[in-house]
A and B are shown apart, each in its own frame.
Chain A
Amino acid sequence: VKSCFWILAAAALLPIAADANDFPTQARVEYVLRCMDSRGGRVYETLYACVCSIDRIAERFTYDEYEAAEVLALLRTTPGERGGVFRDPEGYEELAKKYLEVTEAAEKSCFRSVAPSQGRP
């Protein structure tokens, strides 16, 4: 049962834009700087973890999809009808959730493996 789960999990991960790796330099640098700032500052430990993190994110998303997911993840929390536009449409919740899952998983695993103690602010 356990191995079956891992095969399924791997299958779910693999087909998603694995080869696109098309994040522009500006997007990667912005992510890494913001990530470092929010994870305890500009030291090599956070640099390595944040670089690892954006690489993992870029494996799971095309940049186009990531951009849309980021907008949805942010705007869906706007109160009232303005937020509704980003909560209601079909597929939007899934995309926003994917953004949260992917970024969290990426940061979690990268910070665990690279910077166990210094990573957290």
Chain B
Amino acid sequence: MTVAVAALGLMLPALTAANSDLMKLMSNSDNWAIFGGDYAGTRYSKLDEINAGNVGKLQPVWTFSTGVLRGHEGGPLVIGDTLYIHTPFPNNVYAIDLKDQSIIWSYKPQQNAEETIPVMCCDTVYRGLGYAEGRIFLQQADTHLVALDAKTGKEIWKVRNGDPKKGETNTNAPLVVKDKVITGISGGEFGVKGFVAAYNTSDGKLAWKAYSVGPDKDLLVDPKKTTHLGKAIGADSSLKTWEGDQWQLGGGTTWGWYSYDPDLNLVYYGSGNPGTWNPVVRPGDNRWSMTIFARDLDTGMAKWVYQMTPHDEWDFDGVNEMILADIDVKGKARKVLVHFDRNGFGYTLDRVTGELLVAEKYDPAVNWATHVDMKTGRPQVVAEFSTDQQGQDVNTKNICPAALGTKDQQPAAFSPKTKLFYVPTNHVCMDYEPFEVEYVAGQPYVGATLSMFPAGKVTGSGSHMGNFIAWDASAGKIVWSLPERFSVWSGALATAGDVVFYGTLEGYLKAVDAKTGKELYKFKTPSGIIGNVNTWRHNGKQYVGVLSGIGGWAGIGMAAGLTGETEGLGAVGAYKSLDKYTQLGGVLTVFALPD
């Protein structure tokens, strides 16, 4: 007993310090210390030097070429004088001195490309780094989680979070809270069983691991205390909703974004699709795939869960960001969690209790369900668009949204000034035909053929594939909507200057008025944008930065000569060193107002 108390006494100050270090950095708007801007994931900055009145004068001031091809997601972290930027596979990391944009250090992990890349379902993306107490946390594609010395780039520890041979990979940004690094796993298209894991920041030792599916002890739930819409989930809540041992290939991967409420000590995230995309062969609700989890940071124990899409029939992964905000709902001040799901519903939940407050379509095209029953939380599925009811080897047509969802991982922003959420969306529908598929470890386990097209083909409303919208999460209503030719795959940024930023697949960084959506500025960066827009202040001046770089290759013509991934690695000044960089390589473009 005495020993335990003594140990606790020793541990507590360290915990508090670890917590407050990052909290302090996040509270200073000069930094962009975490992927979401803060633990709540608002992607909001208090900086207002760049505002609705002057953003039209914005200029690109410096660029950084990553030298790596393929899709560049996420964005830079800024801590004081240093900017940290990551690349897609092979997941290089650069620390850049903001005083002169020189490279302080780079870290280039060795990963087995043959083993890893083929089991990454959809491009070799990586969404960002974590930082706390002088350490950078890198989540490699091959699942290695690495702690680096933020000053030198030297490796401090490295642990393995999964196994690419089983189809397990990582694309998510790790979340650092207190003395733990939280990370998830990708591989829902390879029959991987999803989990979230907490590792000690000090030594990389596994603190806890909680699966999305399976027996209660693996789920880290208390059948009597963990709730689903206010009711205890009971024993074997997951096992009962799968046939036989199908839960073993249960998916529910956790490749999205994580947020945290320090007052409640809860971590929030969502789980992905349940194994094969053929719903006919996996009867039941397939719990807890497609679910929002609220877990205790210290123990991993789930406080509440909410399954948005029971028995998924469309690949509507529930992994999108969970934005924590304090807003009025129906005239009452609430601590809420707002989530824009792939299934096309914008959810507002009480993040303390998991009570469902609002669930409304954030694209009018959504047709697979009429509405969400607010008592049971279940979407009311329309038979015509149910790929299960239509059956195996039947092509179910004109389902909205498509599998990528009304929104994928690209994170929305929330402005406490306007109380609006700014959401990058897809406006795409699909035909979906499920077929029989056998599971083979490390092989795709999909079992559906899809065809996608603009939502306008179903609704008769034009041929655009995306919208950038402002959303009122109290009322569940769209406030304004800007049509975009292609889906908007970049993360948004809202600022106290009443400007909202996002990027387009053509490569434009756009700034719009937070209140009206009016376009105030656009600039074409070197490539399409699927990264997230971030902002920071250095030497009293506000900067806005965004990664461009999209997947794919044109195959012939001038692109054919541009395959040298190693050329121009880390070249500062994309234009200054054009001879050393490749057209399709990623570029961080940084903007500021003229002096």
Give the interface of A toward B (CB within 8 A).
24, 26-27, 30, 33-35, 37-39, 41-42, 67-68, 70-71, 73-86, 88-90, 99-100, 103-104, 107, 121
Contact = CB atoms under 8 A, between A and B. Distances in A.
Interface of B is mostly: loop
A33 B506 CA distance: 19
B62 interface: no
Interface of A is mostly: helix
A74 B189 CA distance: 23
30 contacts: A30-B526, A34-B583, A35-B558, A37-B578, A37-B579, A38-B558, A38-B559, A39-B558, A41-B579, A42-B579, A68-B486, A70-B554, A71-B505, A71-B528, A73-B552, A74-B559, A75-B505, A78-B550, A82-B123, A83-B552, A84-B451, A85-B404, A85-B428, A85-B465, A88-B450, A89-B453, A103-B557, A104-B556, A104-B557, A107-B557
Contact of A90 (B121, B122, B453, B550): B453
B589 to A, nearest CB: 13
Contact of B554 (A73, A83, A121): A73
B450 A81 contact: yes
Nearest to A73: B554
Contacts of A84: 450-452
B403 interface: yes
B554 A38 contact: no
Contacts of B309: none
Contacts of A107: 557-558
Nearest to A78: B551
A41 B554 CA distance: 21
B454 A74 contact: no
B335 interface: no
B528 A85 contact: no
Q: Which 3 A-B pairs have the closest CB atoms?
A: A38-B561, A77-B552, A80-B122
Contacts of B505: 71, 75
Nearest to B428: A85
B404 to A, nearest CB: 6
Contacts of A41: 579
B493 interface: no
B485 interface: yes
Nearest to B466: A85
A22 B526 CA distance: 18
Given A26-B524, A39-B558, A39-B561, A74 B450 contact: no
B527 to A, nearest CB: 8
